[in-house]
Chains A and B, each alone.
Chain A
Amino acid sequence: MSLVEITGLTVAFDGVRVLHGIDLTIGKGEAVGLVGESGCGKSVTWLAALGLLPQKARIGGRVMMEGADLLTMPRSEIEKVRGARIAMIFQDPSSALNPIIRVGRQIEEAIALHRGLTGASVRAEAKRLLDLVGIPDASRRLDNYPHEFSGGQNQRVMIAMALAGNPDLLVADEPTTALDATIQAQILDLIVRLRNETGLALVFISHDLGAVSQVCERACVMYAGRIIESGPTAELFRQPRHPYTNGLFEALPRLDGPRRRFVPIEGTVPDPRHMPAGCAFSPRCRSARENCHHTQPALATLSGTRQIACLHPLSDSPASERQRDFAVA
């Protein structure tokens, strides 16, 4: 049962296309990871879907939720979706909170807006939410200002605010990137716990493959404004078939095994104003052949639940593939 269905989503700024047709379906209660490097369009996809991009952005395609298209909805309608049906949290919690308003009031504002509660019940709900996200001594902490909380606690407060409207979907955009390692683990643990308790669907946007593998059932890898590979997280991570996905794993230093030289992906992400012909990854791809440089591969089903946009996918014996790569490096 799908909750949100994105089809052919495109975004252009000043005539430069940055998103080239995204097709993505989020099921009820499903956790989907969006992985990719800076500028690949993973955040823009959701900012566009929720109408949060600046006026000058040209948006095409459809974002369907229960038979209605979020992209063509009047403002009054989309405002009932944002926060109440789909909530979003961002990387830097301290810049998302108002520094001169007590945390309790900021959470209460969200509750009053989305749930129409008033008086003491708002306060009680705010306390329940702070408890839920694991802030000790919640009733007293409601009267604190954001600067009196640590970075990890502020991210918990943001999650509490996001949950205020009882949303069906939480879009978390790099929620742990700015946090210390041990606090990052706490927040990931919290997100997993909240999903189990509330049945919330989750879109987890991150450049951290490790974090994605721990909270998501399914992952989509994006490159230069396109989804280039998707599938169940465990399968995708065990056996990446797109050379870019494989490259991301190779580039990731490991905590086990012998210390070894890093395996970078040579070159840089293409400038959206000067996209290469054919597959956008072809100039950096070690498996690229002649046709990659002029034919744009479409995202097609590889087998069952796996999809890939590549003319020459890696073989499905990743072990030998990797060994060969190590030998070259």
Chain B
Amino acid sequence: MSADIITAQGLVKDYASRRGMFAPPTTVRAVDGVSLSVERASTLGIVGESGSGKSTTGRLLLGIEPSSKGSISFDGRPIPAAGTSEWRRLRARMQLIYQDPLAALDRRLTIADQVREPLDVHNIGDAAERRERVHELLAAVGLRPDHGRSYPHELSGGQRQRAVLARALASRPEFLVCDEPVSALDVSIQAQVVNLLTDLQERFSIAMLFISHDLKVVRNISDRVAVMYLGRIVEEGSSEDIFREPLHPYTQALVSSVPQPGTPLKERIILQGEPPNPANRPSGCAFHPRCRFATARCRSETPALKQTTDDRSVACHLVAVSTAQPSLEGVV
């Protein structure tokens, strides 16, 4: 049995887009050659700004959207084509939860009915077993049996996200894509849901792809972290390493941009310019227009994601390969 539950090689996603009603369609590359793998029962965090392709990557992995290029294998076998019965069976083993629980729930069904739905769809157990399983699931996510009889609008935001989680766990998935699962929740409730996620992950040995723009949450929940910029992974490594010593200039700015109580604004790197538009990709390294260190080479040549140490990869011309302590200071 391989250590990785899911592996993706060279994923590409193109969307056709029109600038005007009569303009010819152009292709927008949302994901541009992403390779990643998630180890069993561990968490890979993906961070990046809007338009970086992090959510699209998650959807490609689940096969909700077909990739334009690249391959994905789950549990050592290629993922069957979306819509086929093999794919449907596989989908029981991989689930998605996303930001807005109210949109994910059906307002006209009780919570218990919705948590039971995956069991009906995937034909798991008989009526009594399903009832029993719904009970178990609600208890596992910290909801009372009477919450099961409520409708989504009767629950608070945190409780709704618990219900979504219970439903995602119904088919005993081995892989969970969490797309900004706690971003809409208040700090005190966010902490409750994150703890619940990690507890359930441990209890049921679930691997997670945790997509978020909130670096503080990602750091504390992820074993490994991939930083995305304009459809590519620009840095990948263990969560500790990435946040203690970010190597890519973009990661450095991103980590520095997080307002920390007690850290004055002056000491932070404030990036100039706007987050990039995938429809208008800069030449060379996509980050060069906002990069403090950009050189002529960065404007013309796209850096590949290269291993710097055993455990770390960076896509930047200026980060020396195979040194543990690369320095960007000399460039300034």
Contact = CB atoms under 8 A, between A and B. Distances in A.
Point out which of A152, A214, A260 has the most chain B C-beta atoms below 10 A from its C-beta.
Answer: A214
Nearest to B156: A268
A251 B190 contact: yes
A153 B258 CA distance: 19
Interface string A65-88: 000000000000000000000000
A285 to B, nearest CB: 12
Contacts of B240: 259
B17 interface: no
Nearest to B216: A253
Contact of A150 (B188, B192, B270, B275): B275
B265 A181 contact: no
A69 B280 CA distance: 52
Contacts of A192: 265
Interface residues of B, number: 44
Interface stretch (B20-28, B68-76, B249-257): B249-257
Contacts of A249: 261
B292 to A, nearest CB: 13
Nearest to A37: B186
B37 interface: no
A180 B50 contact: yes
Contacts of B190: 251, 262, 264
A213 B261 contact: yes
Nearest to A176: B259
B187 A251 contact: yes
B258 A210 contact: yes
Contacts of A259: 219-220, 239-240
A234 B263 CA distance: 10
Interface string B217-247: 1011000000000000000000110010000
Contacts of B275: 150, 152, 180, 182-183
A241 B216 CA distance: 24
Contact of A255 (B157, B159, B188, B255): B255
A172 to B, nearest CB: 14
A184 interface: yes
Contacts of B264: 214
Contacts of B64: none
B84 interface: no
B217 A253 contact: yes
B194 interface: yes
Contacts of B83: none
A42 to B, nearest CB: 12
B191 A251 contact: yes
A185 B49 CA distance: 13
Interface of A: 37-38, 150-153, 180-186, 188-189, 192, 207-211, 213-215, 234, 237-238, 247-249, 251-256, 259-266, 268-269
